[in-house]
Chains A and B, each alone.
Chain A
Amino acid sequence: EIVLTQSPGTLSLSPGDRATLSCRTSQTISSSYLNWYQQRPGQAPRLLIYGASTRATGIPDRFTGSGSGTDFTLTINRLEPEDFAVYYCQQYGTSLYSFGRGTKLEIK
């Protein structure tokens, strides 16, 4: 089973700042199998990035995904108030999925 480790657990920033979120996998995976989701309080998660770097429909270009192998990053530029949420990375492998534990992005 592939384990995803997200860091930091909590990130405290101000609107307008840049956020850098990390996701490390316990084994090398194809970049096409690494996705990112955002979950705002009281809401269902929504897809942000698939294939490590492709923004989902309607996601602003402030959100950028990058990485390969075992190290992946979600960067959020010019934080808006609605960006403060929990972010999860997720991988797919042989019909099985797993999520990281999440990074909570909170207002400083």
Chain B
Amino acid sequence: QVQLVESGGQVVQPGTSLRLSCEGSGFTFNRYGMIWVRQAPGKGLEWVAVISYDGANQFYADSVKGRFTISRDNPKDTLFLQMNSLNVEDTAIYYCVREDLVIVPGSQKKSFVYYYFMDVWGKGTTVTVSS
């Protein structure tokens, strides 16, 4: 079945680095954009980063821009999140998420409607930044 499995979460000190991994299975990994979403303890969901299906484009939340890097290895069906200069505010469960895109004809001639959504979620990996 379609599955995402994260790994790499651990307890680290402020200022250090950590790399998370996410292995996909049960689907054609290189056909989908991939996303990292995090959730701080007792808080809501925060989008972190997205990478296009071919790895050519990446976008980041302002809170992590310049510190985190999202990348992928399509032959190995694996997504990564390199996290540098970690601080206590980065403490969270990090979810690996598949981005789906559905395109349907629009109401006007030669127009299309695009649907972007997060349709498959991993169980998450926990990162704790503490001194």
Contact = CB atoms under 8 A, between A and B. Distances in A.
Nearest to B35: A97
A56 B118 CA distance: 10
A37 interface: yes
Interface size class of A (residues with CB under 8 A): 20 to 34
Contact of A88 (B45, B57, B95, B117): B45
A30 B115 CA distance: 10
A30 B113 CA distance: 9
Interface of A: 30, 32-33, 35, 37, 39, 44-47, 50-51, 54, 56, 86, 88, 90, 92, 95-102
A98 B115 CA distance: 15
Interface in B94-130: 95, 102, 113-119, 121-124
A92 to B, nearest CB: 4
Interface size class of B (residues with CB under 8 A): 20 to 34
Contacts of B124: 44
A45 B44 CA distance: 11
A45 B95 contact: yes
Contacts of A99: 44-47
